[in-house]
Amino acid sequence: MSDTRKVVKVALAGNPNAGKTSLFNALTGAHHKVGNYPGVTVEKREGLRIRNGIEYRFTDLPGIYSLTAYSIDEVVARDFLIDEAPDVIVDVLDSTNLERNLYLCLQFQELGIPIAGALNMSDEAAAKGIDIDAGILGRVLGIPMAKTVGTRGEGIDELLDMIDATLAGSLVSKERRSVLYGGEIEDLLMPLEKAISADGSFSKLYSPRWLAVKLLEKDAHAQELLAGRSDAAAILALARGAVAWLEKHYGREAEIVVSEQRYGYIRGAAKESVRIVKKHDFSLTEAIDKVVMNQFLALPIFVAVLWSVFKITFTLGAFPMAWLETAFGWLSSLATALIPAGFARSLVVDAILGGVGGVFSFIPLIVILFFLLAILEDIGYMSRAAFATDKILHAFGLHGQSVFPMMLGFGCSVPAIMAARTLKSRRDRIVTILIIPFMSCGAKLPVHVLLAAAFFPKKAAEMVMLIYGIGVALSLVSAWVLKKTVLRGDATPFVMELPPFRAPTLRGIIWHVWEKTWFYLKRAGTTILTATMLIWAITTFPVYDAQGLDSASAAEAKLEHSLAGRLGKFIEPVFKPLGFDWKIAVASVTGFAAKEIVVSTLGVLYRVGADETDEAKGSESLRIALRNDPNFNPLVAFALMLFTLVIPPCFAALATIKAEIGWKWMGFAVGFMLSLGWGLGAIVYQVGSLL
Ligand code: GDP
Ligand code: MG
């Protein structure tokens, strides 16, 4: 039986925030991140469901507003639909915003791929008194429709029925498959369609109707598609004639005429099938928006929200962090008691428990920070933040659309860099990607917190926030400079939809936080652990016989004699202007691979030899050890925090930059951040020493 199973390829497509990922999860049982902002689904995802002997293979596409392919998301979705030719498109429609969502639906229809409509968010529509007759709407448009609630998995069976129906062609009357643009435009389309259909193998690949309409819209991609044909010139001439006629008669750009016709058609369809039961007189979203989007209040509120996020993170995080430090200290004493003195004890106590343990104890901070950012995103505040910051970002040559990728950068640069895909212009995208690493990420947090707590114990949280603030300021100034120099150009106008405020779903948030925490844990357990053991090895070998010296100077002599000591002395001159002695230089250099390693390296460097005393382990003793080093002082600590903030991001982030915008820009980023990081560190140290 199973080898005769029928396979149906289904693409889930629609506007951003219509609920595609929620439906995808409900259909396939997957747990992908749902989000309130375009760009969350940056790649396509696949999953399957089997019902009545049919295997449905679903692909979750990024959200788009049209098939015009201005942004990467649109290109991904369009190429998938055209090149992979799924058997069915499930168009996920936001029922509370039906007319706008149907616009894309009509473009799908012209592709000639069978469509089933998911009237999603039907719970919200009902609550708002919008009553959609799915049957009538389906018949008017020639598209079988089912009402769904993606978050609760309601209407899934009906939707699968509609997929079957559209495949069988039962609910679809052929004549109504295409939008009727009205007599005059149809008269222009007909000869174009005919000319395109002349090449049978070509029109099997690309729907002639779709291509004809695209040519009327002066779509560049459609023109390129024709390039391979011998009659391309004739078709393009025909299209130019049609466009000229339209523009002369309507007195507007042809693409505007076409879209007006589409909207007219949609209004007609909606009129027949949608009833507004009661006019909603009070909307919580509107009420909240009156405040958070107020032209005077929006920015202060945004700053206050960000400030609270950090304040809550540090205040709440301090407790579990202290417990973890105690736990690791206890484990260290245990290991010291159990393992006889020697390399094995030193490896376990200094490298594994001291180094990696230091990184682990920051997990509570990371969890809380991600949790709060996820809530902001889920309730819909991030889109408001884009509006709130639009004006100020304009002053730096950016616009509000960059704010979401930038905020994600506080968590991790990798997804943040990918989220920049939603930016329409390539130039804006490159600028945004280049400045994201200045948004201090979760891996830099341990470095800042450790140094701030060691050297600014009274004002630790304020120091960390100051560093974050400097990062934001640097990103803005860099954007301004880049926009004035290598990436000159005007900001592209953008239209962004404001999704309604929604209660966050606990499941979604927990998944999000877990995903990020697990990533951090895995890193600490693999990359960071390996690197730390390596650093332990180069600080331990070659072994130096320090007999005759007292224990403190013996430890120091051993360390200076080790490979790390020699390397450190070798690179020390480069870091002299920043006030770093060789140990700090070694630690700061390890940050190039991943920022957490700075902490674990300091842990190893400052406790080699200390394992003979049974002093408490964990970050607390590391703080004491740092403070006791005469070469380390608040000024050096501040220079090191700045240096760590500004130097190029970790290898994973660099690889992402390369993948997104190429070698050239990655190289530029490395050069730019290296010189800026070194320069700022040096200026701070030199000026600070004078004062
Ligand atoms: P996508 O951008 O199209 O993939 O949309 P998502 O699946 O990420 O959903 C966007 C937001 O809408 C999330 O906060 C979901 O929890 C929420 N959502 C999705 N479907 C529904 C629904 O049917 N009803 C309600 N009330 N909320 C939904
Ligand atoms: Mg999605």
| pLDDT, tens digit (0-9, with 9 covering 90-100), for 431-451 | 999 999 999 988 899 999 999
In one letter, which amino acid is 662? G
Which run of H or of E encompasses 643?
A: helix 634-646
Contact indicator for 309, 369 with CB cutoff of 8 Å: yes
Whether the per-residue pLDDT at 266 is higher than 70: the answer is yes
Tell me the pLDDT of the chain averaged across its residues: 85
Contact indicator for 618, 325 with CB cutoff of 8 Å: yes
Q: At what angle do helices 563-575 and 529-540 cross, to 10 degrees?
A: 100
Q: Say yes or no: CB of residue 120 within 6 Å of ligand 1.
A: yes
- The whole-number pLDDT of residue 279 equals 58
Place of tokens 């403190």: 552
- Look up residue 226 and give its two tokens: 């024709």
Span of 239-243, 254-258, 309-313, 411-415 with lowest mean pLDDT: 411-415
Whether the per-residue pLDDT at 41 is higher than 50: the answer is no
Pocket test for ligand 1, best of 34, 64, 284, 376 (most atoms within 8 A of CB): 34
Cα dist from 2 to 7, 55, 161, 521, whole Å: 11, 10, 21, 41
Cα dist from 690 to 114, 634, 636, whole Å: 74, 14, 13
Whether the per-residue pLDDT at 543 is higher than 90: the answer is no
Listing DSSP states for 116-150 in one string gives EEEEE-HHHHHHTTEEE-HHHHHHHHT--EEE-BG
d(CA 538, CA 559): 9
Nearest CA to 58 out of 156, 137, 200, 143 is that of: 156
- Which SS3 state, helix, strand or coil, does residue 648 take? coil
d(CA 418, CA 660): 7
CA 149 to chain centre: 25
pLDDT band at residue 635 under the 50/70/90 scheme:
very high
Residues written for the chain: 691
Q: Say yes or no: CB of residue 13 within 6 Å of ligand 1.
A: no
Distance 120 CA to ligand 2 centre (A): 13
Calculate mean pLDDT across residues 678-685: 96
Calculate mean pLDDT across residues 19-40: 72
Residue nearest to atom 9 of ligand 1 (CA): 19
Calculate mean pLDDT across residues 56-67: 87
Contact indicator for 431, 669 with CB cutoff of 8 Å: no
Question: What's the per-residue H, E or C state across 578-591?
Answer: HCCCHHHHHHHHHC
Q: Say yes or no: CB of residue 114 within 6 Å of ligand 1.
A: no
- The whole-number pLDDT of residue 236 equals 94
Whether the per-residue pLDDT at 281 is higher than 70: the answer is no
Proportion of the chain above pLDDT 90, given as a percent = 34
pLDDT band at residue 40 under the 50/70/90 scheme:
very low
Nearest CA to 234 out of 265, 267, 198, 262 is that of: 198
How many C-beta neighbours within 10 Å does residue 48 have? 15
Calculate mean pLDDT across residues 186-213: 88
Contact indicator for 353, 344 with CB cutoff of 8 Å: no
- The whole-number pLDDT of residue 608 equals 44
Calculate mean pLDDT across residues 607-613: 49
Nearest CA to 36 out of 511, 394, 516, 505 is that of: 505
d(CA 482, CA 435): 10
Distance 618 CA to ligand 1 centre (A): 43
Q: What dihedral do alpha carbons 28, 30, 31, 37 form, nearest 10°?
A: -50
130, β-bridge pairs: 276
Whether the per-residue pLDDT at 202 is higher than 50: the answer is yes
Whether the per-residue pLDDT at 170 is higher than 70: the answer is no
pLDDT in tens, 588-604: 998 888 888 898 889 88
- The whole-number pLDDT of residue 164 equals 93
- Which SS3 state, helix, strand or coil, does residue 94 take? strand
- Which SS3 state, helix, strand or coil, does residue 246 take? helix
Whether omega for the bond prior to residue 542 falls within 30 degrees of 0, making it cis, is yes
Contact indicator for 254, 239 with CB cutoff of 8 Å: no
Q: What dihedral do alpha carbons 487, 491, 492, 494 form, nearest 10°?
A: 130
Q: Say yes or no: CB of residue 39 within 6 Å of ligand 1.
A: no
In one letter, which amino acid is 445? L
- The whole-number pLDDT of residue 36 equals 42
Distance 244 CA to ligand 1 centre (A): 42
Q: Which residues line ion ligand 2, judged by CB < 5 Å?
A: 20-21, 41
Residue nearest to atom 8 of ligand 1 (CA): 34
- The whole-number pLDDT of residue 550 equals 73
Contact indicator for 114, 168 with CB cutoff of 8 Å: no
Residues 6+ apart with CB under 8 A from 675: none
d(CA 49, CA 53): 10
- The whole-number pLDDT of residue 37 equals 41
d(CA 618, CA 625): 11
Q: What dihedral do alpha carbons 557, 563, 566, 567 form, nearest 10°?
A: -140
Residues 6+ apart with CB under 8 A from 578: 636, 639, 640, 643, 678, 681, 682, 685
Specify the higher pLDDT residue, 544 or 138.
138
- H runs (alpha helix) in 436-493: 445-455, 460-484
